[in-house]
Amino acid sequence: MAKDTFFRKNTTLNVAGKLISLQQPKVMGIINITPDSFYADSRKTTTEAALLQAEKMLSDGAHILDIGAYSSRPGATDISVQEETDRLLPAVEAIVSRFPDAVLSIDTFRSSVAKQAIASGAHIINDISGGTLDDQMFTTAAKLQVPYILMHMRGNPQNMVKQAQYDDVFADVFDYFTTQYHTLKTLGVHDIIIDPGFGFAKQQAHNYTLMQRLQEFNRLGLPILVGVSRKRMVYQATGGTAAEALNGTTALNTIALTKGANILRVHDVKEAVEAVKIWQLCDAPLEINTEI
């Protein structure tokens, strides 16, 4: 495993010149402009549907909206850059126009898509491939000077299930982050968030090993994003389907908060915001009124 070279955890993001503190955990709401995302209720295939979802999530307390137009579920159909942008950009432009103060993250591994979305008013790049599927992504993030979410994945959505082989999953993911972080910093990317990539080229035991050891990623000194919402790692443990995995998701999100998660990426914003509020009450000292 790489030698620890990071100490103080960065908890501030520069988003379009505005500093956002991650000292208190933030909730990121998922908006999928796709017809085949793994959780059916998250599919918003029209601009109007995306706008309504954005309005609901912001009303429920979302701090960031994560918008994607390429389904990354295991075995998902590959689509062209043109199809991805044709789905994505109208929704981004409409949300920016309707909610100009909203912070928008773009879920894409393609640098050209990220560049167009940022030009349309988005603020953050969320790359499931961590720069491994597009060799221009890191330089694009550096040129755009936007926060970059570095996720761990092996292969691509079409073949990643076959890539879920590790001798030590935590060591492999930690070393990957160390290497990719240094490359990003050398290129001049200043705001980097790490995401262990739960469910991406991971078997069930890998997912829970990473969750058990999540707090050890704090040694990297970088904000941590956790995305477990309604995933197989939840409903395989509890039974049922993604549609029945809200309670398990909330439990896992709460565990992630106790281990240092700074951003929760979720389908269900209201419940995640409530989990953060309860966690904060348990984590902070409380004043007790002793008056009778």
Confidence at residue 1, expressed as pLDDT on a 0 to 100 scale: 41
Confidence at residue 286, expressed as pLDDT on a 0 to 100 scale: 61
Confidence at residue 98, expressed as pLDDT on a 0 to 100 scale: 97
Q: Decide: 231 and 238 in contact? Cβ < 8 Å.
A: no
Nearest residue to 15 (alpha-carbon basis) of 150, 181, 184, 145? 145
The rounded distance, in Å, linking the Cα atoms of 89 and 66 is 13
Confidence at residue 253, expressed as pLDDT on a 0 to 100 scale: 98
Domain 17-282 sits in CATH at: 3.20.20.20
Q: Is the pTM of this model over 0.95?
A: no
Could you tell me the end-to-end alpha-carbon distance of the chain, in angstroms, rounded to an integer?
57
Confidence at residue 41, expressed as pLDDT on a 0 to 100 scale: 74
Confidence at residue 34, expressed as pLDDT on a 0 to 100 scale: 86
Pairing of strands 225-226, 192-195: unpaired
All structural domains of the chain with their residue ranges: 17-282
Q: What is the CA 125 to chain-centroid distance, rounded?
A: 10
Ranges of the chain whose pLDDT falls below 70: 1-7, 40, 75, 285-292
Q: What are phi and psi of 225, to 5 degrees?
A: -105, 135
Confidence at residue 168, expressed as pLDDT on a 0 to 100 scale: 97
Which residues does the annotation mark as catalytic? Answer: 231, 265
What are the angstrom distances between the C-alpha of 261 and each of 24, 121, 289? 10, 27, 31
* Sequence-ordered strand ranges (E) for the chain: 12-15, 18-21, 26-32, 64-68, 104-107, 124-127, 148-151, 192-195, 225-226, 263-266
Confidence at residue 75, expressed as pLDDT on a 0 to 100 scale: 64
Confidence at residue 148, expressed as pLDDT on a 0 to 100 scale: 98
Nearest residue to 33 (alpha-carbon basis) of 123, 99, 129, 117? 117
